[in-house]
Amino acid sequence: MQATVESSSVSTATASRAAQVQAPPGNPPQRSFLDNLSRSRFPVAVLLFFAVSALCANLRLGQLNPTDVPFETWTSAAVKDWFRLSTPRPNIAFLGSSLMLSPLGAVDADFLNRDIDGPSHHRSLYFEQAYKKLTGESVRTFNFALPGEMPSDACLITKFLLKGEKRPNVLVYGLGPRDFLDNGLLSPGSTDPYQTLSRFGNSNNRIALIAPDWQERLNFELGRLLHLYGRKVDLNTCFERQVSAIAAQVVPAAPISIKQRRQLLPGYRITEVGVKDCWFGPSANKPRPPLLDNIDEYRKRYKNLKWDTYLTQMRFLADLLNTARERDVHVVVMAMPITDINRKLLSDQAWDLYRHSLKVMAMAKGATYIDMQSSQAFQLSDFGDTVHLHSGGGAKLLDLLAQKLAGDRAVTAALAAPSSPSLKTTTVAGLKGTSL
């Protein structure tokens, strides 16, 4: 009987301890994850965060005006000069990479017989005179050619800037194979011109082309969703300006020279060159230096042909031509001359596809097509390196261009069209493309 009682006591004690382990007194019952989430402060914090972001977006907190570009580059200098323009507006605007930019700047340095600050010089005075000699008509130009400019960049210039009262009559776009086949291009959104030009409008309809990589796309979408994240460059610029202004008052510092700046920035790139950083000097009556061998640079550019880059840039060229035609701006697509040394780096397939696509695209969109490459007018002695014309070759190019434009009905009709963008021309937009 005693053993039975003891056994019962042990069983009762064991059950009691088990009950304590399974359900300790005072502990609340377990809840599901969703139940815990609904009772936590996390949803409130998320809603509050997005509400603050929306408020900051409406207040444009920390957002600089588009013309107050926080990057001092060749692109920002061109944009600021464009907005400073008053009447008369330019009749002809030039687009292109350094293939177009170099001859325009170098030729004017010879023409004026003085040094020219490249990022600050945005006309082609030589071309204006050449055209007037042929036609008796005065034209005013604006040079929007930029170092490394891709068709995606030129498309943004055309879409966001070449409009309204500043709409030119004619757009001359000088192109080369690098503009479509450069495997060094990470994406259209990675260029210096894009970083500046994207501030002036919305290009969301082409975001799949501008940011094809998932990381770039994620960064873009976060910038759209979260105002402070999207405006991080502006906020950082505002902060740096305030700190610099305070520091300058406390400890005035001597200005940093260009040479010192480049020593401080060992990774200095041509697309980061600002005002007074790059000069074209007169070379008339001087012996020209020997041809600069930059073939290794282009071996890297053409080493692995990225067809997605080619197709993307052709798509942006089509967008540019469509935008210009909608605004009654006549486009002249000009295939720039390059040396046979450079051309041989490309396979016959890539070279033929580039040339054929360029001509077909121009003709299909009602543009004038000029093939300077096959004109047989340029020799090796006209080039400063394997792709860039020097001032002598550049003068030859601009003389030929003036002759071609003066003899083209579509161009002369566009230049004679009313200057007001509200007045529609009756012939230019509907003209069939011409090949010169």
Q: What is the pLDDT of residues 228-253, one digit of tens each?
A: 777 777 777 777 777 877 877 777 76
Domain span at residue 278?
74-205+271-435
Read off φ and ψ for residue 68, nearest 5 degrees: -90, 60
Q: How many domains does the chain have?
A: 1
Read off φ and ψ for residue 389, nearest 5 degrees: -70, 140
Least Cα distance to 294 among 237, 247, 342 occurs for 342
Domain assignment present for 184: yes
More confident site: 359 or 241: 359
Domain assignment present for 67: no
Residues near 328 by Cβ (< 8 Å), separated by ≥ 6?
167, 414, 417, 421, 424, 425, 428, 429
Domain assignment present for 144: yes
Domain assignment present for 251: no
Q: Which residues of 59-84 are buried (b: 16+ CB within 10 A; e: fewer)?
A: eebbbbeeeebbeebbbbbbbebbee
Q: What share of the chain is helix, strand, coil (3-state, %, to 5)?
A: 55, 10, 35
Least Cα distance to 96 among 157, 141, 140 occurs for 157
**DSSP assignment letter at 292:** B
**Out of 9-13, 82-86, 128-132, 300-304, least confident range:** 9-13
Given this model, what pLDDT does residue 17 score?
53
More confident site: 25 or 390: 390
Q: What are the CA-CA distances from residue 242 to residues 50, 238, 263 (Å)?
A: 27, 6, 25
Count of C-beta atoms within a 10 Å radius of residue 138: 11
Q: What is the mean pLDDT of residues 80-96?
A: 88
Q: Are strands 368-371 and 434-435 parallel, antiparallel or unpaired?
A: parallel
Q: What is the DSSP track for 221-270?
A: HHHHH-HHHHTHHHHHHHHHHHHHHHHHHHS--PPPPHHHHHHH-TT--G
Domain assignment present for 163: yes
Residue 279's H or E segment, with its range, is: strand 279-280
pTM of the entire predicted model: 0.80
Domain assignment present for 210: no
Q: What is the pLDDT of residues 171-216, one digit of tens each?
A: 999 999 999 999 888 889 888 899 889 889 888 888 888 888 888 8
Report yes or no: 271 and 196 within 8 Å, Cβ to Cβ: no
Q: What is the mean pLDDT of residues 299-326?
A: 93
CATH code (residue 154): 3.40.50.1110
Q: What is the mean pLDDT of residues 149-158?
A: 96
Q: d(Cα 91, Cα 135) in Å, to the nearest integer? A: 14
Least Cα distance to 146 among 195, 99, 113, 112 occurs for 99
Q: Are strands 279-280 and 116-117 parallel, antiparallel or unpaired?
A: antiparallel
Residue type, 14: T
The pLDDT mean for the chain works out to 82
Domain assignment present for 258: no
Task: Tell me the sheet residues that pair with 243.
Answer: none
Count of C-beta atoms within a 10 Å radius of residue 267: 6
Domain assignment present for 32: no
Tokens representing residue 354 in the block: 């580039």
Given this model, what pLDDT does residue 132 score?
97
Q: What are the CA-CA distances from residue 164 to residues 20, 171, 222, 421, 426 (Å)?
A: 81, 15, 32, 6, 18
Least Cα distance to 75 among 278, 272, 279, 316 occurs for 272
**Out of 22-36, 294-308, 380-394, least confident range:** 22-36
Which residue bears the tokens 């907190």?
61
**DSSP assignment letter at 371:** E
